[in-house]
A and B are shown apart, each in its own frame.
Chain A
Amino acid sequence: MTATATTTTRSPHAAPEPIGTRAHLTFGRVVRSEAIKLFSLRSTWWSIGVAAALSVGISLLMAAASADFGPGFPPVMAIVAPMQFTMLVAGILGAIAVTGEYSTGMIRSSLTAVPQRGAVLAAKAIVMGVFLAVSSAVIFAVAVVATSGLLTPQIDWSDPAASTVPIAYGVLSMTAFALVGVGFGFILRNGAGAIAATVGLLFVAPIVVSLFSVFGTAWAWVTDLGQYLPMTASQTLTSVGAEDTVPALIALLAWVAAGLLGAWAVLRTRDA
């Protein structure tokens, strides 16, 4: 049996039906297009699958050991702490959603279909943000259910500050990390560069800053500034009984805003 690829084109005289005058751009349609793009790539599902497996797996490990952690361990930490690792997946997913378009040339199709480049950026950010928010919420919910029999003590759901609030900030953080990746993706356009920048900011910068803590008071300003790094701000937000969360929240949102504004500045002026 021979598999013949039927590539016979239809007669050009078979005119297509006229496209209605309703065919035009709207922002909602651009968002829908970006959602189709995100969901039609295997890498999206691979990334979120890896994030889910890592997150729930580490939660289970921590829950299994939680009885030995002593009274200082808030049980909700077992749910949000895996973010230290999954944040990288979120950031990288955000970055490659953009750089994948540049490396394949898809960006030219995207920007000729939607010449209003700000709309492309905004739609991509919204889709990526909502996707990470929803999937993180689902991942945390699965972790809560999976660890419920193991955690000692149990999460006290009657106290929001020790249960829902850290988890909600965890969802917000994952969303923010992905958007940081989106920003770097548009600014650098190159997969390796954007991933390096994202990993550098989220993962390496806090480690570098922590090195300075041993150098005494002369370098204390570095450690102080380090409080405003995305991951450190996120840790402040998701910790139980954090005193002053407002600066951390502003810092986290400012990183996202700065990244996306930088992305917009680059996207609107540079040739695609």
Chain B
Amino acid sequence: MIVAEGLTKRFGDTTAVSDVSFTVQPGKVTGFLGPNGAGKSTTMRMIVGLDRPSAGRVTVNGEPYRASRAPLTEVGVLLDAKAVHTGRSARAHLRAIAATHGLPKSRVDEVIDLTGISSVAGRRAGKFSLGMGQRLGIAAALLGDPQTLILDEPVNGLDPEGVRWVRQFVRYQAAQGRTVLLSSHLMSEMALTADHVIVLGRGRVLADAPLDELVAAWTATTVLVRTPRPSELVEALSTSGVTVTTAETGVLQVEGVTAAVIGDTAAAAGIPLHELTPTAGSLEDAYLALTGDAVEYRTADVTETHQEQS
């Protein structure tokens, strides 16, 4: 369990993390979301004592990380895949880390095997591809068979097999009653992996809720309706206070009313329906709605830019 209380980190004039409080529960995969520069990595670094909080505190299993006698068995951490000396072989890197806790060489071989890097373990880490470096970072995090996993962008650069392995692995770890805190920008992957999400924006907690609740709260369920008589249907529905948008002729996006009501209304008015599909919002929609004002580095809208050019 990770407990952050009033965690704050200032770098000079900029406040990277501002009065952040949350609890990461064991037995669940907690997703840590937020735009670039929202303070996710800084928060993770404070959890494992790399950065000292300007204010507030954070504990892992009830005590500060720095106070642990066996930190590798408490927390396995992947902050970025590049926390490896490029001149050292993967195996030597893992052995050096394992040696600090007296972990046997057999454990090093286990994590090499587990993460699928046995064929390159003797090679210098500087020659590793992004994905291989990521696997090595995960191997290092697993060395102490830790109670808590903190993984910053673990699937970054992984192949689909690796992505699925990480998902299954962290789900299994959570099912074993362990604590997993996981950041990713891949919303579809996060939707498959996380039970609970904490969203940061501009150094503050924007949301801290179970994934399905968050999605339900921040997205609207829309119903796609295909009919040869759209204007009549819009008229029939207009009484119930719904919003209807038209994407193409004969296709309506209806918001604020269930598919059943639309179907009944259409049947009562004798309007034929060719399609009636409720679409739930995605985590991505919820995330974008939630962080809309908190995005530090905003990109231009592709479609708008395109129109201006043409």
Contacts and interface: CB of A to CB of B under 8 A. Distances in A.
Given A24-B73, A43-B87, A32 B50 contact: no
A62 B100 CA distance: 45
B135 A7 contact: yes
Nearest to B95: A36
Given A12-B172, A24-B102, A272-B50, A113 B97 contact: yes
B60 to A, nearest CB: 11
B21 interface: no
Nearest to A24: B70
Contacts of A106: 83-85, 88, 93
B229 interface: no
Interface in A1-39: 5-19, 22-26, 29-30, 32-34, 36-37
B88 to A, nearest CB: 5
Interface in A82-123: 100-101, 104-109, 111-116
Interface of A is mostly: loop
A100 B52 contact: no
A214 interface: no
B103 A19 contact: yes
Nearest to B101: A23
Nearest to B48: A112
Q: Which of A7, A36, A101, A107 has the most CB of B within 10 A?
A: A7
Interface in B51-67: 51-52, 65-66
Given A41-B88, A106-B83, A116-B66, A13 B96 contact: no
Contacts of B116: 6-10
B86 interface: yes
Q: Which of B75, B114, B161 has the most CB of A within 10 A?
A: B114
B140 to A, nearest CB: 6
A272 B168 CA distance: 32
A14 B145 CA distance: 13
Interface string A26-68: 1001101110110011110000000000000000000000000
Interface of B: 45, 48-52, 65-66, 68-73, 75, 77, 79-80, 82-89, 92-93, 95-97, 99-103, 107, 110-111, 113-120, 131-132, 135, 140, 142, 144-145, 159, 161-162, 165, 168-169, 171-173, 176
12 contacts: A16-B107, A16-B111, A24-B101, A29-B100, A32-B99, A41-B88, A109-B140, A112-B48, A112-B75, A113-B97, A113-B101, A272-B51
5 smallest A-B Cβ distances: which pairs? A40-B92, A24-B70, A12-B169, A33-B99, A9-B116
